[in-house]
Structure 1
Amino acid sequence: MTSPGEFFPRMHDESARLRVASLNLFSGRTSRGLPAGPEALAEAVGRLDADVLGIQEVDRDQPRSGGTDQTSVAAQALGAGWKRFEPTVLGTPGEPGWTPATGTSSVGPAYGIGLVSRVPVLEWHRLRLPPAGGRYPLVSPGRPPRLIWLRDEPRVALAAVLDRGVTVVCTHLSFVPGVNLRQLRQVRRWLEGLGVPRPVLVLGDLNLPLLPVRRSTGWTPLVSRPTFPARRPGVQLDHVLAIGLPPGSRVSGETDEGLPVGDHCGVRVVLELPRP
């Protein structure tokens, strides 16, 4: 684990530098599945020290996480003036009674993804992704781990157009094999037709390793290291990918295995774009 100062070396042109990161919050729990609290969440986000942060498995007003608005906690920890929480589930996922989110409802417990930014956001865009039908097995962390059967949840992709001429997209794809690949292709087609400024940086927990991600999109990976599980990562599920990266760009990417929140490693990239 490196400190922010060590990880982000001094660049010759501060105005061209953009630091982006992604973290699966695990609803504000530790890698062992224990509640961590908003202070630990703020510490984890602060250690990533990103200009733009994408977060997944985000709780808002959930009893299990103390009613915290976790997107707001992340924004405050970074000193970020722009934030957006995008719910995918109203209620508590994995428990009876939850329903798919169809808007940006600000009432009641919800779960989804978020983007927070220190850089001004000019536009927001959203793509909703349908879930698979039926129930599917998922390994729940614990001692010992246990197999549980869950309904797949709807997913969403959230894009922020920054005033630096860069677009950042956060998403969290299905854990169901094949469905996640289909959703990734939907995101690719959506971005091709959206007409947002390039480069585009796509980040998040894709629930897919690097090889099928590259083959199905052609996007450029900026990090290539295992990210899951956080304590002893063996597979890369979390990514930062670039579309339309201009020649002469400089990139440094890394993971952080030691964060106090999340069952995935944090992923972070420092990007220096050439002057026009």
Structure 2
Amino acid sequence: MRLATFNILHGRSLEDDRVDVDRYAAAIASLDADVVALQEVDRAQERSARADLTAVAAEALGAREHRFVAALSGTPGATWMAATGREQPEEAAYGIALLSRLPVRSWEVVRLPSVPWTVPVVFPGRRRPQLVSDEPRVAVVAVVEEPATGRCLTVASTHLSFVPGWNSWQLRRLARTLHRSPAPVVLMGDLNLEPEAVRRGSGMRPLVRADTFPAHAPERQLDHVLVGGDAPTPLRVDGAGSRRLPLSDHLALTVDLA
């Protein structure tokens, strides 16, 4: 079984500053993963050709099971508000996704509290910080089944806050929620935290160690694949690593499980 996680930057390439849906589909297909977690996913946005990027990825992978969960609804620069979970399928939105080639026994959405105040952030090329509001944060969880054996794996996708401290708090809260899920549990996504902070916040074991950001010269690991929960047979990794794809400012991570 191959797992993968990828912050797709809504499918945009930094090389030409464009979203090419065919290029995006080919990149996702090249992962050849059975379960894929995606972050920064658009649906019906002008900037990404009004495509449903979750559906495009699912078709490229041959993943019959997939869920997009909106963190924000509306359009950047116009109406842009926290999603409620009651958005219509054709409504413009932005969030995370989880896709599976394997059968899914159940789905769950976990909405995480966002920072209730503006925070100072120093953006590249600027000396002074700018006050910004953090995005709402969410996780999507699936219990997937291996058809040959009937064994199950709980897999979650999330994208945590960029605000130091708050992201660790969100991680601890999510880890407690996942602890109640059928074991073993795998958490994947852009956690906006480096490995030591992830270890402290989650108590989960990393399945891959590789720098993932920025894509052109990676020097920090912000994206993770973690395992937790007690299982009769511990998960064994046959291979793991990072991959640079022709889009996004993050590398993708893949893990092959025995």
Cα contact 1:86–1:104 (8 A) shared by 2: no
Residues 1:173 and 2:160 aligned together: yes
Q: Aligned residues, how many?
A: 249
The 1:79–1:161 alpha-carbon spacing in structure 2 relative to 1, beyond 3 Å, is same
Task: Tell me if 1:150 matches 2:150.
Answer: no
Quick one: distance in 2 between partners of 1:109 and 1:139? 29
In 1: Cα distance, 2:223 partner to 2:16 partner: 19
Residues 1:91 and 2:78 aligned together: no
CA distance change for structure 1 residues 217 and 43 in 2, over 3 Å: closer, same or farther? same
2-structure distance, mates of 1:174, 1:202:
16
Structure 1 window deviating more from structure 2 (148-157 vs 61-70): it is 148-157
Bigger mean CA offset, 29-38 vs 152-161: 29-38
Deviations 1:53-75 (A, max 9, x none): 00000000001111010000100
Q: Is the 8 A contact 1:219 1:242 kept in 2?
A: yes
TM-score w.r.t. the length of structure 1 is: 0.85
> What aligned pairs does 1:205-244 form with structure 2 within 5 A after superposition?
205-244=190-229
TM-score normalised to the size of structure 2?
0.90
5+ residue gaps, structure 1, are 1-17
Secondary structure at the aligned position of 1:166 is classed as strand
Contact 2:138 2:159 (8 Å CA) reproduced: yes
Q: Give distance in 2, aligned partners of 1:187 and 1:33.
A: 36
Secondary structure, in 3 states, of the residue corresponding to 1:198?
A: coil
Distance 1:58 1:248, change over 3 A: closer
Distance 1:20 1:172 in 2: 17
Counterpart secondary structure, 2:209: coil
CA contact 1:31–1:231 (8 Å) conserved in 2: no
Give the 3-state SS of the residue equivalent to 2:208 in structure 1: coil
Unpaired runs of at least 5, structure 2: 147-151
* 1: CA distance, partners of 2:65 / 2:94: 19
Counterpart Cα distance in 1 of 2:44 and 2:214: 26
Note if contact 2:38-2:97 (Cα within 8 Å) is conserved in structure 1. Answer: yes
- CA-based RMSD of the aligned residues comes to 1.9
Q: Which amino acid aligns with 2:79?
A: G
1:161 pairs with 2:143: yes
Contact 1:32/1:263, CA 8 A, preserved across alignment: no
1:8 corresponding residue in structure 2: none
Give how far 1:189 is off: 1.3
Q: Where does 1:256-271 land on structure 2 (aligned, <5 Å)?
A: 256-257=243-244, 259-271=245-257
In the aligned structure 1, how far is the partner of 2:22 from the partner of 2:121? 29
